[in-house]
Structure 1
Amino acid sequence: MDKVNILAIGRDKEILSIVVRLLNKEEAWVAKGVTTDEEAITMFQQQDFDIVLFGGGISEKSEKKLRALFSHQSPDTSIVQHYGGGSGLLYTEIRQVLDQRKSAYKINIQDNIF
């Protein structure tokens, strides 16, 4: 099974490192974290990500810019807003996206069979 690549973006380095560490505890996930828009754009252009996770402290302007860029460059990448609340919520947010992606994949496969 392929690993799920996650790009976490947050402004607070300490919180971001905790989020990345928590995500990387899951065997099937590989997370990388960045704190600036420029780092996020560079990282996104250099690697394929399944999920982009927006953390706290990101301005509305930056989030809109990044969402537009990421959606245009890779429409299949899922974007998640993480509001904090501990590891349980973080894992739930990611798993919901993965479940949605799995369901969409099954529907596409079924549509192409008939």
Structure 2
Amino acid sequence: MKTLEFLILGKNEAILTILLRLVNANENWNAVGFSDENAAQDYFLKNKIDMVLLSSAIEDHVEKEFTSFCIEHQPDVEVIEHFGGGSGLLKSEIEHRLYLKEKK
């Protein structure tokens, strides 16, 4: 199975650290995290990303602009807004999105 590449953008460092740990706990998932959207955009342009997770404390306009940027540059990317609910919810959100993507 191919390793899925994740980019996580969040302004709350503690939550970003937790999300990185949770995603990277899956042997088939690899995540990098950013608290700065410009650094995240630079990384995104240089790497094939399967999923983008948007976490807490991101301003609405940044969330919309970053989502548009990602889809414009990698149309197959999945963007998930994740604002809490525990590790079980995060895993379910990711797996549901993967399921929907496979059905296309």
Place the TM-score, normalised by the shorter chain, in its bin: over 0.9
The amino acid across from 1:26 in the alignment is N
Alignment partner of 1:79 is 2:79: yes
Dislocated runs of 4+, deviation >4 Å:
none
* RMSD after superposition: 0.7
The amino acid across from 1:31 in the alignment is A
Q: SS of the counterpart of 2:48?
A: coil
Q: SS of the counterpart of 2:63?
A: helix
How far the C-alpha of 1:4 sits from its partner, in A, is 0.6
- The unaligned stretches of length 5 or more in structure 1 are 105-114
How far the C-alpha of 1:14 sits from its partner, in A, is 1.4
How far the C-alpha of 1:83 sits from its partner, in A, is 1.6
Which residue number corresponds to residue 109 of structure 1? none
Map residues 46-61 of structure 1 onto 2, 5 A cutoff. 46-61=46-61
Q: SS of the counterpart of 1:57?
A: coil
Q: How far apart in 1 are the matches of 2:62 and 2:50?
A: 20
Which residue number corresponds to residue 42 of structure 2? 42
Q: SS of the counterpart of 1:5?
A: strand
Which residue number corresponds to residue 30 of structure 1? 30
Compute the TM-score of the two structures, normalised by the length of structure 1: 0.88
Deviations for 1:22-74, whole angstroms, at most 9, x for unmatched residues? 10001110011100111110110111100000000101110111111111101
Could you say which structure has the larger radius of gyration? 1
Q: Which has the higher helix share?
A: 1
Compute the TM-score of the two structures, normalised by the length of structure 2: 0.96
The amino acid across from 1:85 in the alignment is G
Q: How far apart in 1 are the matches of 2:4 and 2:100?
A: 14
Q: How far apart in 1 are the matches of 2:8 and 2:96?
A: 16
Q: How far apart in 2 are the matches of 1:79 and 1:47?
A: 15
Map residues 1-114 of structure 1 onto 2, 5 A cutoff. 1-104=1-104
Identity %: 33
- The unaligned stretches of length 5 or more in structure 2 are none
